[in-house]
Amino acid sequence: MGQEDRSSVTYGVFKESTQQESRVALTPDIAVRLKRSHVSCLIESDAGISAGFSDDDFRQAGVQVVSKEEIIATAQAFGFVERPSADLIAMLPAGSWVLGMLGSFTDEGYTAALQDAGLVGIAMERLPRQLSAAQSMDEMTSQNSVMGYKSVLVAAQEYGSFLPMMTTAAGTIRPAKVLVLGAGIAGLQAIGTAKRLGAVVTAYDVRPASREEVESLGAKFLDLDVDFSAGQGQGGYARQLTEEEQQAQQRAVDEKAAQFDIVITTAKVPGRKPPVLLSKAGVEGLHRGAVIVDCAASDLGGNVEGSAPGMTVTAGGVKVIGNADLASGVATTASMLLSRNLADTLAHFVSEGGALQMDLSRELDDALVISGRKEGRD
């Protein structure tokens, strides 16, 4: 390769360190795309195996498959599915750029650690998604869409009957009744998927605009007889409800939820404790064999009172499945989408001269950059 063809920015991606994570932050097609933006790519060996991409797939796309140590020594920017550990932060050269969901809303200590290490932190969770220029960078939207789809498949697998109505020689099986709480990106995908599988779907969200979106997909909107007209927050996400609103919502949802076979909750608040949409009383009101999938369940809590990552079965025979990482279960497509989000974000910061550069007078840059705000490593 001639000197004039060489890329000026080198982008490195590691194999994800957690066992439950199957996604990868770079896919071969996106590596080809980045090359057109004067970015060359390095990836750690076997980083894409769980997502369906072999080392040879990457090599054919022009990606160098190297060791973790060589990536650290060579790359100027690093992309992540899960944010880098403290040990890895300590290994990255000062001035390097770190892109990913960095948890900056709730973990000020982590942001401080990036700053102390001299790293430029690009927090994908802070993307101002109302900007048209940011749409292809919107990792939250892309991964929530995959999550909503997968949540229905998980529920269907655990539910003890069919989702669609079935007429058999032994009689007619009624369709499953599915309730989706939270009609954002994940919720709408869950609604559409459940409808395609033949379930009777009802949904609810605190945002007034969600009624039209829900009904446009052929689902019913759940009327709780409680007014949350101010429920829409900035950037299109549902804002966190006040304590009084949460209590009123819980009582209303608890009364309505008992008629459903499957409940899927998707009301995540980026980087913050999610609102409780179904209380313990609501869970106890569901019939034996009902299934709940809580897409917001994490160490911060969940939409379902008492839910936690994993599956539990209540004394009343209700299955409660908590999983905020359902997108990892559709690893190939999720990785393709996430890789594009990260790549377009990285390309945004590559100057015409082929160096990493920020301009904090731009709304996008000012929102995304959480550490190293005055200088970066070219």
Residue 112 has pLDDT above 70, yes or no: yes
Residue 30 has pLDDT above 50, yes or no: yes
Which among 118, 114, 87 has a CA at the least distance from the CA of 100? 114
Can you tell me the mean pLDDT for 268-275? 77
Residue 136 has pLDDT above 90, yes or no: yes
Within 8 A by CB and 6+ apart from 266, the residues are 144, 147, 148, 151, 180, 181, 182, 183, 184, 186, 187, 190, 295, 296, 303
Q: Using 50, 70 and 90 to split pLDDT, how confident is the model at 378?
A: very low
Rounded-to-integer distance, Cα 106 and Cα 336, Å: 27
The answer to whether 33 and 1 are in contact (CB under 8 A) is: no
pLDDT for the residue numbered 241 = 65
The answer to whether 336 and 350 are in contact (CB under 8 A) is: no
* CATH number belonging to domain 145-324: 3.40.50.720
Residue 225 has pLDDT above 60, yes or no: yes
pTM higher than 0.85, yes or no? yes
Q: What is the DSSP string of 308-352?
A: -SEEEE-TTS-EEEE-S-GGGGGHHHHHHHHHHHHHHHHHHTB-T
Rounded-to-integer distance, Cα 276 and Cα 246, Å: 7
Backbone angles phi, psi at 179, to 5 degrees: -115, 125
Structure tokens at 253: 């949802």
Structure tokens at 38: 């004067």
Length of the chain: 378
Can you tell me the mean pLDDT for 36-54? 96
Q: Using 50, 70 and 90 to split pLDDT, how confident is the model at 274?
A: confident
Which among 176, 183, 161 has a CA at the least distance from the CA of 295? 183
pLDDT digit string, tens, across residues 323-373: 988 999 999 999 999 999 999 999 999 998 889 999 999 999 999 999 998
* 143: three-class secondary structure by DSSP: helix
Residue 206 has pLDDT above 90, yes or no: no
Q: Cα 312–24–39 angle (5° rounding)?
A: 155
Which region among 39-43, 108-112, 323-327 has the lowest average model confidence (pLDDT)? 323-327
Residues above pLDDT 90, as percent of the chain: 77
pLDDT for the residue numbered 209 = 86
Residues above pLDDT 70, as percent of the chain: 92
The answer to whether 262 and 290 are in contact (CB under 8 A) is: yes
pLDDT for the residue numbered 228 = 54
Structure tokens at 323: 């999983």
Q: Round the average pLDDT of the chain to a whole number and report it.
A: 91
DSSP code of 136?
Answer: G
pLDDT for the residue numbered 3 = 41
Within 8 A by CB and 6+ apart from 188, the residues are 148, 213, 214, 217
Per-residue CA distances from 291 to 25, 261, 263, 311, 374 (Å): 32, 6, 6, 10, 50
Per-residue CA distances from 29 to 1, 44, 344 (Å): 20, 17, 13
Q: Give CATH 3.40.50.720 domain extents, the chain.
A: 3-126+331-371, 145-324
Q: Using 50, 70 and 90 to split pLDDT, how confident is the model at 374?
A: low
Rounded-to-integer distance, Cα 170 and Cα 376, Å: 69
pLDDT for the residue numbered 244 = 81
pLDDT digit string, tens, across residues 254-263: 999 999 999 9
The answer to whether 309 and 294 are in contact (CB under 8 A) is: no
Q: 3-126+331-371 has which fold?
A: Rossmann fold (3.40.50)
pLDDT for the residue numbered 290 = 98
Can you tell me the mean pLDDT for 152-167? 97
Q: What is the DSSP string of 179-228?
A: EEE--SHHHHHHHHHHHHTT-EEEEE-SSTTHHHHHHHTTPEEPP-S---
Structure tokens at 247: 């209590």
pLDDT digit string, tens, across residues 183-196: 999 999 999 999 99
Residue 296 has pLDDT above 50, yes or no: yes
Residue 158 has pLDDT above 80, yes or no: yes
pLDDT for the residue numbered 347 = 96
Q: What is the DSSP string of 240-289?
A: PPPHHHHHHHHHHHHHHHTT-SEEEE----TTSPPPP-B-HHHHHHSPTT
